Structure 1
Amino acid sequence: MTTLHDVLAAHVRPGGPPGAVALVARGGAVEVAAVGRTEAGGPVPMARDTLFRVASLTKPVMAAAVMVLVEDGALALDAPVAEWLPELAAPRVVRTPSSPVTDTVPAARPVTVADLLTSRAGYGFPADFSLPALAPLFAELKQGPPQPQAVAAPDAWTARLGRVPMLHQPGEAWLYNTCSDIQGVLAARASGRPLPELLAGRLFGPLGMADTGFAVPPAELGRFTGYYRSGPSGGLDLVDAPDGQWSSPPAFPSGAGGLVSTVDDLHAFARMLLAGGEAADGRRLLSAESVRQMSTDHLTAAQREAGSLFLEGQGWGFGGSVDVAALDPWNVPGRYGWVGGTGTALHVTPATGAVSVLLTQLELAGPTPPAVMRDFWRYAAAA
Structure 2
Amino acid sequence: MAGHVERGTVPGAVTLVSRRGDVQVDVVGNRSLDGPPLRRDSLFRISSMTKPITAVAALTLVEDCLLRLDAPVDDVLPELANRRVLKSLDSELDDTVPAVRSITTRDLLTFRLGFGQLMAQPDAYPILKAANDRSLGMGPPQPFDYPAPDEWLRRLGELPLMCQPGEKWLYHTGSDVLGVLLERVCGKPLDEVLTERVFEPLGMKDTSFSTSDVDRLVTSYQMDYSVFDEPSGGQWSRRPPFLSGGGGLLSTVDDLSAFAHMMLNSGRYQGVRVLSRPMVELMTTDQLTPAQKAVSGFFPGYFDDRGWGFGVSVATARTNVFQTPGRFGWDGGLGTSWQADPKEELTAIMLTQRAGFPDLSAVYTDFWTSVYASLPD
2:132 maps to which of 133, 138, 159: 138
Say whether the 8 Å CA contact 1:69–1:191 is kept in structure 2. no
Matches of 1:131 and 1:14 in 2, distance apart? Answer: 39
Residue aligning to 1:376? 367
2:214 aligned counterpart, secondary structure: helix
1:287 maps to which of 270, 276, 295: 276
Matched, 1:30 2:19: no
Matches of 1:78 and 1:176 in 2, distance apart? Answer: 20
Matches of 1:10 and 1:306 in 2, distance apart? Answer: 38
Residue aligning to 1:150? 145
Q: Which amino acid aligns with 2:132?
A: F
Matches of 2:333 and 2:119 in 1, distance apart? Answer: 16
2:182 maps to which of 187, 193, 213: 187
RMSD: 1.5
After TM superposition, give the deviation of residue 15 of structure 1 in Å: 4.5
Taking the TM superposition and a 5 Å limit, the aligned residue runs for 1:142-291 are: 142-216=137-211, 218=212, 220-231=213-224, 236-243=225-232, 244-280=234-270, 282-291=271-280
1:10 aligned counterpart, secondary structure: helix
Q: Deviations over 1:280-317 (max 9, x none)?
A: 1x121111111111100001112223335173531000
Q: Extract unaligned runs of 5+ from structure 1.
A: 1-7
Say whether the 8 Å CA contact 1:36–1:45 is kept in structure 2. yes
Matches of 2:257 and 2:120 in 1, distance apart? Answer: 34
Say whether the 8 Å CA contact 1:212–1:262 is kept in structure 2. yes
Q: Which amino acid aligns with 1:372?
A: V
Matches of 1:103 and 1:358 in 2, distance apart? Answer: 45
2:166 aligned counterpart, secondary structure: coil
Residue aligning to 2:106? 114
Matches of 1:337 and 1:54 in 2, distance apart? Answer: 13
Matches of 1:224 and 1:74 in 2, distance apart? Answer: 36
Q: Which amino acid aligns with 1:78?
A: D
Matches of 1:74 and 1:207 in 2, distance apart? Answer: 21
Matches of 1:170 and 1:306 in 2, distance apart? Answer: 14
1:230 aligned counterpart, secondary structure: coil
Say whether the 8 Å CA contact 1:127–1:306 is kept in structure 2. no
Matched, 1:17 2:17: no
Matched, 1:85 2:80: no
Matches of 1:193 and 1:94 in 2, distance apart? Answer: 34
Matches of 2:223 and 2:102 in 1, distance apart? Answer: 42
Matches of 1:336 and 1:21 in 2, distance apart? Answer: 20
Matches of 1:371 and 1:312 in 2, distance apart? Answer: 19
Matches of 1:84 and 1:165 in 2, distance apart? Answer: 19
C-alpha change, 1:142 and 1:126, in structure 2 (3 Å) is closer
Taking the TM superposition and a 5 Å limit, the aligned residue runs for 1:328-347 are: 328-347=320-339
After TM superposition, give the deviation of residue 138 of structure 1 in Å: 2.1
Say whether the 8 Å CA contact 1:15–1:230 is kept in structure 2. no
Q: Single out whichever of 97-106 and 253-262 deviates more from structure 2.
A: 97-106
Residue aligning to 2:51? 59
Residue aligning to 1:41? 34
Q: Which amino acid aligns with 1:245?
A: Q
Q: Which amino acid aligns with 1:213?
A: S
After TM superposition, give the deviation of residue 230 of structure 1 in Å: 2.4
Residue aligning to 1:5? none
After TM superposition, give the deviation of residue 27 of structure 1 in Å: 1.3
Q: Extract unaligned runs of 5+ from structure 2.
A: none
Matches of 1:228 and 1:324 in 2, distance apart? Answer: 32
Matches of 1:136 and 1:319 in 2, distance apart? Answer: 26
2:92 maps to which of 97, 100, 125: 100
After TM superposition, give the deviation of residue 364 of structure 1 in Å: 2.0
Matched, 1:304 2:287: no
Matches of 1:342 and 1:104 in 2, distance apart? Answer: 35
